[in-house]
Amino acid sequence: MARVRGPFDTALPPVAGWLIPVLSVMAGSLLTLIPWIASFPVLPPFGLLLLLGWRLGRPNALPIWSALPLGMFDDLFSGQPFGSAIFLWSVSALIIDLLEQRLVSRDFRQDWLLAAAAIAVCIIIGRLAAAPIEARVDIAIGLQIIVSIMLYPLTATLCAMLNRERTLV
Amino acid sequence: MAAREGSRNRSPGFSRRAQYGLFLGYVATVAGAVVAGVILLVSTFDPRTFTSLRTVAAELTTPVASAASFISSNIRMIPNTVGDYFALKQRNEGLRKQIENDLALTQRARALNYENQRLKQLLNLQERSSSVVVAARLVSSSASSTRRYAMLNAGSRQGVGDGQPVRGPIGLIGRIVETGPNTARVLLLTDPESIVPVRRARDGVPAIIAGRGDGTLEVRSVNATNVEFQPGELLVTSGIGGIFFPNVPVARIISRSRDLATARPLSPPDTLDLALVEAAYLPIPDNDAKPR
């Protein structure tokens, strides 16, 4: 009978412990492989959404430095200038960690707010780094930010479901 | 012993090993972020710096994207095929009528073409003709990014090289910017950093088409005089700059304005269509070939 691992059970097997979170974030980054030629930025950054889902929902699943290699993987497929996801993802992870140390209580809406701020900052700074100021992408970027923020609960739920799989005894 | 799931790992207890591990994690992340900032600056100023990494990644994943594109294009073709079958007879009649109507026009065009060739011979004009390098498919794009790139499932093994223009069945799509053995990255017309020299098909007024990033194009007149653009006007490549062959249709104006107009690309690139890679019009000579 499968049940969720409790505090007195044996430790997680190391591979299942980190492989599921890592593979899920990488799969999110690989969504740009879908056969579709977009004419403006529409696809939400699913890699970032899943990383935030893991870091905010299950902080022990991925170490904080994992934002570096996962960001590099995302940079290989996103089309943004190389280094932008490594930089933005690791800085978001660090800032979220700093803020969480000062927060007293925890609930999902607070996580959502933190994720929303991280998503907006990452997309806006990514846009400034990738395209010249006069490019008319701001409306599309705004829509992309809104859609991504609305999708965060979904990816957080996905992380929770995957975490359940991960921690079953 | 792993830490309890769902709890913070911030107070690792008295274990020195856990304390150092946590501390080193933060140090590594901060250092990595600083290095990444430098990498980002470098790649903003010179986007070609990390081409090889991206190319390797594309080589590994583009077969997956190609397969996905193949499957989805076949599925999307089903409704069309069914519709075609039933509309065939009607369409046949319509086409026959159209051929009859166009006959006079074709004859005239043939005569003009013949005359044109004779005049060119008289002038002793040298013409370079466009040559298709390979026909391939665009299989995926940078849908989450501010930049507009597409992946082509053909590369240097098929003769594709940096700077070659890519055109669709109707009009220009973009040009190759990065090439791997079996894949290439195409900078689409709509990318904010894409620029194509064009001229108005009607009277040859020169202009420049720049991408805006939102699917439309900006048309800037090059002439000093006031040029008025009307909706529906066709813009074709002018051949200036040596990359794009002249007279390839590029875009159509969508709003009336002076000197600075908005246009829409003629062929919104689609994974369904074939993309033709052509040799560059006048390729840039190699550095070695430069006179000393």
pLDDT of residue B283: 67
Asked whether B188 and B194 are in contact (CB, 8 A), the reply is yes
- Calculate what percentage of chain B has a pLDDT beyond 90: 40
Is B273's pLDDT higher than 80? no
In sequence order, what are the residues at sequence separation of 6 or more whose Cβ sits closer than 8 angstroms to the Cβ of residue A64?
A55, A93, A94, A97, B25, B26, B29
Query: pLDDT digits over B147-176, tens only?
Result: 999 999 999 999 999 999 999 888 899 999
In sequence order, what are the residues at sequence separation of 6 or more whose Cβ sits closer than 8 angstroms to the Cβ of residue B170?
B249, B266, B267
Residue B36 forms contact with A (CB below 8 Å): yes
Distance from CA of A36 to the nearest CA of B (A): 5
Spell out the domain ranges in chain B.
Answer: 54-84+132-282
DSSP bridge pairs for B234:
B252
pLDDT of residue A27: 95
State the ipTM, two decimals: 0.88
Q: Residue B2's closest CA among A112, A167, A52, A107?
A: A167
Query: pLDDT grade, residue B256 (50/70/90)?
Result: confident
- Which residue in B2, B37, B65 is closest to A33 by CB distance? B65
Phi–psi pair at B197, nearest 5 degrees: -75, 130
Asked whether A54 and B3 are in contact (CB, 8 A), the reply is no
- At B71, list the tokens: 């499957």
Question: Which chain B residues are within 8 Å of A71, Cβ to Cβ?
Answer: 36
pLDDT of residue B271: 66
Query: pLDDT digits over B197-237, tens only?
Result: 999 988 888 999 999 988 899 999 887 678 889 999 999 99
Q: What is the CATH number of domain B54-84+132-282?
A: 2.40.10.340
Query: pLDDT digits over A93-151, tens only?
Result: 999 999 988 888 888 999 999 999 999 999 999 999 998 888 888 999 999 999 999 99
Whole-number average pLDDT of chain A: 90
Structure-token match 């008025």, residue found? B228
Residue A169 forms contact with B (CB below 8 Å): no
Spell out the domain ranges in chain A.
Answer: 14-167
CB atoms < 10 A from the CB of B81, how many? Answer: 9
Whether residue A87 and residue B33 make contact (CB cut-off 8 A), yes or no, is: yes
Phi–psi pair at B53, nearest 5 degrees: -60, -45
Distance from CA of A2 to the nearest CA of B (A): 17
pLDDT of residue B272: 65
Structure-token match 């875009």, residue found? B251
Is B251's pLDDT higher than 50? yes
- Cα–Cα distance, A132 to A125 (Å, whole number): 12
Whether residue B144 and residue A30 make contact (CB cut-off 8 A), yes or no, is: no
Is B31's pLDDT higher than 80? yes
Question: Which chain A residues are within 8 Å of B59, Cβ to Cβ?
Answer: none
- Cα–Cα distance, B190 to B195 (Å, whole number): 9
Per-residue burial over A100-138, b if 16 or more Cβ lie within 10 Å, else e, is beeeeeeeeeebbebbbebbbebbeebbebbbeeebbbe
Question: Which chain A residues are within 8 Å of B214, Cβ to Cβ?
Answer: 39-40, 136-137, 139-140
Query: pLDDT grade, residue B292 (50/70/90)?
Result: very low
pLDDT of residue B217: 93
Whole-number average pLDDT of chain B: 85
Could you list the beta-strand ranges (E) of chain B: 132-141, 149-152, 165-167, 172-179, 184-188, 195-200, 206-211, 217-221, 228-229, 234-237, 249-253, 257-258, 260-265, 274-278
- Chain B residues 64-83 with a CB less than 8 Å from chain A: 64-65, 68-69, 72-73
- Predicted TM-score of the model (pTM): 0.85
Is B1's pLDDT higher than 70? no
- Calculate what percentage of chain A has a pLDDT beyond 70: 98
Query: pLDDT digits over A4-62, tens only?
Result: 777 787 777 777 788 899 999 999 999 999 888 888 888 999 999 999 999 998 888 89
Collapsed DSSP state (helix, strand, coil) of residue A118: helix
In sequence order, what are the residues at sequence separation of 6 or more whose Cβ sits closer than 8 angstroms to the Cβ of residue B89?
none
Amino acid at A5: R
